[in-house]
Chains A and B, each alone.
Chain A
Amino acid sequence: MVFSRLFRRRAVPEPQLEAGLKKTRRGIFKDIANLFERSEITEDLFDDLEALLIQADLGVETTLELLDNLRQRIDRERIKQPADAREALRTEMIALLEHATRNRKVKIYQRGVPYVILVVGVNGTGKTTTIAKLAKYHQDQGRSVMLVAGDTFRAAAIDQLKVWGERLKVPVIAHDPGADPGAVVFDGMQAAYNRHIDILLVDTAGRLHTKYNLMEELKKIRKVMQRHVAEAPQEVLLVIDATTGQNGLVQAQKFAEAVEITDIAIAKLDGTARGGIAFAIARELGTPISYVGTGEQVTALAEFNPVTYVDALFFGEDEEL
């Protein structure tokens, strides 16, 4: 059904995502299953579905559009059975999320030429943990990795990254707390080039997208990188917390305005949050969503895949515990 999948890089075998999510999804699967266990497709079904989607953080507009598309499909394909309507919903949800994958660029890693990943986001979304996971992933692919402690603001953020560096046996370029992030990044770029590092992961301080001067700081960091190498950073990764509500959309928009986000990671999908904000982002912005994070384990990172995402979060089966 989705041929574009063949061309996508796969971060971690997909079963991982499902396993990570399954334990916690009891309830919603049943809710969806129950929804379609009626003898015919009625207005009530749509009402209940609306409630369910809004409660999954899709937001009002996205939910209404999705339901509209579903109605159209049901008309068009003359669907009469609720079970078929369920399948139609699944198809529409996947189609919506594909807005977030079709603009994804193929990532080209060259040996010995640093591929720079600038990681940004609001406070507490899981940037540092995501960096550790990405470092682990690239290491497992046989690439050399270096970390840059660009969060010089938050207390002990540098130490946090250093701990990960030690655990993963990856060098960390850091200055003292309170130093200019641009300067650390400059040193990191230089070190990565001198040492022919394959992947350079740059941590930044969490910042709310409404803080004008902090967003300007990000632009500056980007400029520092570009002064070094025109094509850097090859990846600007925005980390969004899966429990985020409608503000996630504004976050994605504002960060994209400031630093041209190339990829989004949805973190903390191991909770009960349905990560519905991914749908709103896909619909409104179309910024590529590339990764999902599912826990504190360093391997708990998967490639974002619309089919897996929809199935794991909405259409799986409840396990009896």
Chain B
Amino acid sequence: MFETLSDRLTAVFQRIGNKGRLTEQDVDEAMREVRRALLEADVNYKVVRDFVAAVRERAVGEEVLKALTPAQQVIAIVRDELIKILGEERVPLQMASVPPTIVMVVGLQGSGKTTHVAKIAHLLKKEGRKPLMVAADVYRPAAIDQLQTLGQQIDVPVYTEGTQADPIDIARNAVKLAKDRGHTVVLIDTAGRLQIDERMMQEVERIAEAVRPTEILLVADAMTGQEAVNVAQEFHRRLALTGLILTKMDGDARGGAALSIRSVVGVPIKYIGTGERVDAVEPFYPDRLASRILGMGDVLTLIERAQEQVTEEESRELEQKVLAGQFNFEDFLNQLQQIKRMGPLTQLLELIPGIGQALRQQQVQISDDEFKHIEAIIYSMTPEERRNPDILKPSRRKRIAMGSGTSVAQVNQLVNQFKQMQKMMAQLGDLAGGRRGLRGLMRSRQALAGLGDADLEALMQQGAFPPAFGGPGPAPMRKATNSPKKGGKKKAKGRRR
């Protein structure tokens, strides 16, 4: 839906031409795009204004490094500054010197408080601590049941006094009980409340006064818009927050709210929620969030997902094959199936910098059904043919086409692209520096960061990816037919000041 910042910056610098040094005019044009990208990521308007001013100052006059295009240079500066605001290092959960540590979780309705109380309890339990969860939301129907159900799942006790009790008493009694029973951490789940609801804000203030929490964490939905700042500011003013949990980051929200809250309130982001299961919580990595806010794709997430699917051994084997130029259709089929398990293709491609962009530019729609033809063709080959594509003579190709319900042209195309891919893989092996190998490359974040958009694009151009992967092959891709809307957008853009 949104063009990425790197798309836009690339366009800007193409227009004004590449130069060795970023002039004031270059930077001004670029900053307009930066501003827009941040606003589309829901970063607060005022935060964006200050941020852009700071980046502008730093960027003007900067020499463009040899290895980078001006667009990349600007992005690097922007990213750098984003990371600075987001907090360069991880701040762990503070533990009280005298147990129990008391963690209170607050936020708006539906931000994910109850789920995250359970997730953190689960984490702490795995660390060998002895948590107690406290059901202090007496308002929402079945909120207590929800915490109890989660408590059973993770085998952590829940303290409750039902829905008639006063949340302040509940919290106070729970802490007392925790001390008696030797619980080292008390996690208090409070009711969702609007920051302008005076009565409810007083209630949560009184809970805080009664139990003096070690940590007061604000739970914020990654999808929150411009109001995130006001919400966080008010909670902070009344409770002195110590940290932030950013939830629903498994969706496609850019999460600009986190930047707003972080820069206005200043408390560190402590956890990222990435799903509904109790183990779907991650520590916070500022560099990843920075890339995401800028819409730059997330190669690390992609790699993590891939790692979930592929065992160490499999990947070592594959690496050997790739480097030796022995990657065959059987391996390819395996890869396809692994990729399918990782999620829908369009979503995966979005995670790769440059590729999502290329797809959007060409208005290409990719459906996982495209895999079916490829699979059918490969399934129609004999094991011998799969292992040794060189023996695929015309008569064999004809048989395969008939067997798979495709045409000889489609079979030819797949085979040709496969051969190109083999060639590219060998090159990739060289690029990785031979000895270190593909796996080394995959592991090394540095190397990955260095593999910029341009490289991936170049790979695509050269046909490194089969059509289904967004390579330039024409047949299995469909040009999107619903282009009128796109035209409308372009028009609106032209009217920008």
Q: Is the CB of B276 within 8 A of A154?
A: yes
> Which of B93-101, B140-148, B236-244 lies at the interface with chain A?
B140-148
What are the residues of chain B within 8 A of A49 when measuring CB–CB? none
Indicate if the CB atoms of B112 and A123 lie closer than 8 Å: yes
**Contact mask A36-79 → B, CB, 8 Å, 1/0?**
00000000000000010011110111001100100000000000
How far is the CB of A54 from the nearest CB of chain B, in Å?
Answer: 5
Contact: A241 with B110, CB < 8 Å? yes
Give 8 nearest A-B pairs by CB, closest first. Answer: A245-B225, A124-B110, A245-B42, A163-B141, A156-B146, A155-B149, A156-B145, A160-B142
**Which residue of A54, A177, A271 contacts B227 across the interface (Cβ within 8 Å)?**
A271
Question: A162 CA to B145 CA in the complex, in Å?
Answer: 12
Chain A residues within an 8 Å CB radius of B196 = 24, 271-272
Interface membership of B438, Cβ < 8 A: no
List the interface of chain A (C-beta within 8 A of B): 24, 51, 54-57, 59-61, 64-65, 68, 122-126, 128, 153-157, 159-160, 162-164, 167, 177, 208-212, 241, 243-251, 253, 268, 270-274, 276-277, 284, 296
Instruction: Give Cα distance in the complex from A55 to B48, angstroms.
Output: 11
Q: Is the interface of B mostly helix, strand, loop or mixed?
A: loop
- CA of A247 to CA of B226, assembled, Å: 12
Interface size on B, residues (CB 8 A): 58
Which of B40, B44, B225, B347 is close to A210, meaning CB atoms less than 8 Å apart? B347
Residues on the A chain within 8 Å of B146, using CB: 154-157, 159-160
Chain B residues whose CB sits within 8 angstroms of the CB of A276 once the complex forms: 225-226
Distance in angstroms from A20 CB to nearest chain B CB is: 12
Provide the bound-state CA to CA distance between A241 and B195, in Å.
16
Cα distance, A162 to B141, chains bound together (Å): 9
Q: Smallest Cβ distance from A284 to chain B, in angstroms?
A: 8
Please measure, in the bound complex, the distance between the C-alpha atom of A272 and the C-alpha atom of B196, giving whole angstroms: 8
Would you call B315 an interface residue if the criterion is a C-beta within 8 Å of the partner chain's C-beta atoms? no
Q: Which of B290-324 contact A (CB under 8 A)?
A: none
Q: Which stretch (B248-256, B327-335, B370-378, B405-413) binds chain A?
A: B248-256
Interface locus among B14-22, B62-70, B385-393, B489-497: B489-497
Q: A54-B39, A64-B492, A159-B141 are in contact. Are A208 and B257 (CB under 8 A)?
A: no
**A130 to B: closest C-beta gap in Å:** 11
**Given A163-B141, A243-B224, A124 contacting B40 (CB threshold 8 A):** no
Q: Which chain B residues lie closer than 8 Å to A209 at the CB level?
A: 251-252
Measured CB to CB, the nearest residue on chain A to B230 is: A272
B144 to chain A, nearest CB (A): 8
CB within 8 Å: A-B pair count: 164
Given A124-B109, A245-B224, 7 more pairs with CB closer than 8 A: A24-B194, A55-B45, A164-B141, A247-B223, A251-B223, A253-B1, A276-B226
CB distance from A257 to the nearest CB of B (A): 11
Known contacts A60-B36, A61-B492: A212-B347 contact under CB 8 Å: yes
User: CA A124 – CA B223 in complex, angstroms?
Assistant: 11
* Cβ-defined contact, B225 with A244, below 8 A: yes
Highest count of chain B CB atoms <10 Å: which of A55, A57, A163, A248: A55
Question: CA A209 – CA B347 in complex, angstroms?
Answer: 11
Q: Which residues of the other chain, B, contact A154 by a CB distance below 8 angstroms?
A: 146, 276
A59-B40, A123-B110, A160-B141 as given contacts; A212 in contact with B496, CB under 8 Å: no
Q: A155-B150, A160-B141 are in contact. Are A51 and B45 (CB under 8 A)?
A: yes
Q: B residues 34-72 with Cβ under 8 Å of A?
A: 36, 39-42, 44-45
B344 within 8 Å of A (CB atoms): yes
Whether the pair A125, B224 counts as a contact (CB closer than 8 A) is no
User: Is there contact, CB below 8 Å, between B142 and A156?
Assistant: yes
Considering only CB atoms, which chain B residue lies closest to A166 in the complex? B141
Residues from chain A with a CB closer than 8 A to the CB of B110 are: 123-126, 241, 268
Would B492 and A249 count as touching, CB distance under 8 A? Answer: no
Does B111 interact with chain A (Cβ within 8 Å)?
Answer: yes
